[in-house]
A and B are shown apart, each in its own frame.
Chain A
Amino acid sequence: MRWIEAHTIRQVQRCLSANVPIVGGGSWLLSDGSVPEAVCDLREYPWAQGITGNESGWMIGPDVTLSQWLQALDSENVIAEVIRKMGTPIFRRVATVIGAVANPQPVADLYPVMRLLGADIFYIDLHHDSIQHEKLMWPFRANPRALVGLWVPASTPYRFIAFRKYTKGRLTRVLLNLGTGLAQQGDIMTADFVIGGLSQWPYEDRVAGASHSISHQISQRLRNQGNITPFYQALIMEMCDDVLNQWEHRADRRSEL
């Protein structure tokens, strides 16, 4: 296997045009067991390195592991809550944040909350000679591309974001996850939710109305989907009710994330 350390956009583009897999931490590559002819390593890419955090948000470079971001976050932060539920401590020390968003999967724990927070990805593709950015959204429209940064804004339209997941065991595949963002204006509540595990790509939807009707509306929406089994419907509703209950009992709903 050839190990290619890309330092310029042109070098990354050459790798992309030759279908060379892009790696950050490389943990997915090794756990997959495959040995491609060559890989393109972005960890030395100079554009974004490490974690940059300020009042406007976080910029995450391709070399940042889940564990490093977790240590930089306030323990009450919803992103920290999600990362703590991802894998085990030793795994989080080698798996990168960019790797977790760059490899689309039916169920991926970081994706729902990153979507709700309005995260942007910075990438290199074959059509532009500069680094591009857009809102994170799976499946990626333009392929191939190499992710070189993740921007997570600190401000969010939601008053409350929650994450729940269902898995049979800590080391087994995640079966379902749910990210919910709640906003309220007067008596009208809005709930955005992103659910992974129901289909090939995470399912996103929004319901709005009086706060007491939100749960019923979500239930209706799930039933209308048609392809969701009664078990998963019940599971999602239990998660939603738990989130709404947590929201109801927050001491100070004005407090932000």
Chain B
Amino acid sequence: MPRLLKTHYSAVVTVNGHVHRLTVPGHERLLTTLRERLHLFSARYGCGTGHCGACVVLVNEEPVPSCLLLTVRQQKNRIQTLEGLKKDSLLAQLMTSFAEEHAAQCGYCTPGLLLSARHLLKTCPSATESQLREELSSHICRCTGYYAPLRAIAKVRDSYAVD
């Protein structure tokens, strides 16, 4: 075989600004690494196929499903989870708005929703209703019916635009 005649690899991954040197199996997903090795539990296992959005993390500032990423391939990327954004003012506004609008019930999908909402408002501060819906289509929420999260994000968008 051409290269890498082994099943475990050394991976240097940067998560929330911290550099971690790990030895992981070639098939290990980023979600598993975050939860089981780094004990960052905001990303949750939902479907394992990239459809539910519960496992969303930011890779180079873009929300992506961590269940569809292999840890060994993240060496050049900057990974951020909700835990790493404690001091982010936009995220704080979103969390307050989610609480005020009752947009989180069981909370399983909430970290993913917050990260996607933050990304959208950062890249498109005056996002339209259809853009909000498009971004939220990445997430499955079985509690809220989506209206409450939509309201919460729209509320932050409106105040964000005014700011």
Task: Give the interface of A toward B (CB within 8 A).
Answer: 1-8, 11, 14-15, 18, 25-27, 30-31, 33, 35, 38-39, 41, 43, 67, 87-91, 93-95, 170-171
Contact = CB atoms under 8 A, between A and B. Distances in A.
Nearest to B56: A90
A30 B51 contact: no
B67 interface: yes
Interface of B: 1-7, 9, 25-27, 29, 48-51, 53, 56, 62-65, 67-70, 72-73, 116, 134-135, 137-138, 140
Contact of B6 (A2, A91, A94, A95): A2
Contacts of B4: 2-5
A27 to B, nearest CB: 5
**In the complex, which of the residues A2, A4, A15 has the most CB atoms of chain B within 10 Å of its own CB atom?**
A2
Contact of B1 (A1, A14, A31, A94): A14
A90 B48 contact: no
A171 B139 CA distance: 10
Contacts of A67: 62
A91 B51 contact: yes
6 contacts: A6-B2, A26-B70, A88-B137, A90-B64, A91-B50, A91-B51
A89 B137 contact: yes
Given A31-B48, A88-B51, A91-B138, A4 B70 contact: no
A94 B69 contact: yes
A2 B9 CA distance: 9
A73 to B, nearest CB: 16
Nearest to B52: A171
A30 B25 contact: no
Contacts of A94: 50, 64-65, 68-69
A1 B7 contact: yes
B138 A90 contact: yes
A30 B140 contact: no
Given A4-B1, A31-B48, A31-B49, A89 B135 contact: yes
B138 A2 contact: no
Nearest to A14: B2
A94 B63 CA distance: 10
A3 B9 contact: yes
A67 B59 CA distance: 14
A184 B56 CA distance: 47
A170 B64 CA distance: 17
Contacts of B51: 87-88, 91, 171
Contact of A171 (B6, B9, B62, B140): B140
Nearest to A35: B27
